[in-house]
Amino acid sequence: MTSSPTASQSSWSLIDEEETNIASSSTSTLDHNIQPAIGPTALPDLDENDILRSRISDLELKNTIYEQQIKEHEYTTFNQSEEIAEIRQRLNELEDERIYISAGLDPSRKELESDIRKLELSIGEEGDKTRNEMLIEYKKHLKSNGENIEPSKKDFAELEVISSNQSKRIKELTNQLNQMNDENYQKELLNYELQYIIQSIEIVHIKVNNELKELGIENHKLDNYIHSINNIEKRYKKKLEERGNQLKVEYENKQNDIKLENDKNLELKTKNKKTEKEIKHLKKNNDKLSKIIEKVKSENDDMTTQLEESQVEIDRLKEEIKDKLKIVEK
């Protein structure tokens, strides 16, 4: 698994610096260890006190070098302690969320999916069936009477609003479920990435601890460092519990929302039954209107025939007038 540069850039730089420091420290330690010892044979003209002073001076020089190396390691260890503490805090939070999601939110997600399927089935069986079948029958009825018009918006406004609201709510619940899945996936990726980072830092930390032990650092300092990490873990345990309680409250709220949607669905079923009665009433009115339209068409055909006959008579009279005008002009 590859880690994103934005999430682990500081951690990688810290690891590189520590590896460089360890390498340089080890090299410097080895260089001082292989210095030739000052013995009496090297300085035959000096007395015993001069030889002892020379050895003491050499030991003091080595001690100064060791103290400087210890200070450097203590500084890097302190920086690593802060980095490890922050990463452990974040890792523990993500691990707790991942465990809680796996154990607690997966059932809720299944329940949400089940409730969404129930809503879709209920709407498909009641709402869409009533609306689509009635509209199709109504259109067929209109076409059978020679009409090719659509039902008016006023007649079916309530059906359209109900269907639109149901579809929007289903999409909203589906989007919420998809969003929860995406968030869980991103949290798992970040969790794996942090685990990889902290493992790398712990490896470097172990190397530093080993060098500190070789340089004579007391073990109780390392114990204090481990104790401080344990205290940090305990300090954030309460926050993780609060986060778990918050997720439980969110789950209960989602359950209440689904219950409200089921109640609304029952109300919509009742409205759909009323709408069926209104559609039947509209069909009766349409039959009456169809008869009136046929009567008006028949009268219109008669009027059209009369107008055509009148136009023919007018044309004939125009021709007669033109002929008479020609005779008068002559």
Which amino acid makes up residue 109?
R
Q: Is 124 helix (H, G, I), strand (E, B) or coil?
A: helix
Q: Is the pTM of the predicted complex or chain greater than 0.95?
A: no
Question: Taking the CA of residue 202 as centre, how many other CA atoms within 13 Å lie in the half-sphere pointing to its CB?
Answer: 11
- For the chain, how many structural domains are there in total? 1
d(CA 213, CA 220): 11
**203 Cβ contact list (under 8 Å, min separation 6):** none
Length of the chain: 330
Residue 227 has a CB neighbour count (10 Å cut-off) of 11
Residue 26 pLDDT = 43
Residue 221 pLDDT = 59
Contact criterion met (CB below 8 Å) for 288 and 143 = no
Contact criterion met (CB below 8 Å) for 203 and 84 = no
**291 Cβ contact list (under 8 Å, min separation 6):** none
**Nearest residue to 19 (alpha-carbon basis) of 219, 213, 218, 200:** 200
Contact criterion met (CB below 8 Å) for 197 and 8 = yes
d(CA 80, CA 14): 8
**Nearest residue to 73 (alpha-carbon basis) of 234, 213, 223:** 213
Contact criterion met (CB below 8 Å) for 19 and 204 = yes
d(CA 98, CA 190): 11
Q: Which two tokens stand for residue 188?
A: 């798992």
Residue 188 pLDDT = 75
Question: Taking the CA of residue 9 as centre, how many other CA atoms within 13 Å lie in the half-sphere pointing to its CB?
Answer: 2
Q: Which two tokens stand for residue 17?
A: 């610096």
Per-position b or e across 180-212, b if 16+ CB within 10 A of its CB: beeebeebeebbebbeebbebbeebbeebbebb
Which amino acid makes up residue 195?
Q
Contact criterion met (CB below 8 Å) for 84 and 201 = yes
Residue 33 pLDDT = 43
What tens-digit pLDDT sequence spans the chain (330 residues)? 344 443 334 444 444 554 455 445 444 444 444 444 444 444 445 566 677 777 777 777 877 787 777 777 667 666 666 766 777 677 777 766 666 665 555 555 666 666 666 666 666 566 556 666 666 666 666 666 655 555 556 556 666 666 677 677 777 777 777 777 777 777 777 777 777 777 777 777 777 777 666 665 555 655 666 676 667 667 667 777 777 788 888 888 888 888 888 788 788 778 777 777 888 888 888 788 888 888 888 887 888 888 888 788 888 887 887 777 777 776
DSSP conformation letters of 144-170: HTT--PPPPHHHHHHHHHHHHHHHHHH
Its domain, for residue 243, covers 5-329
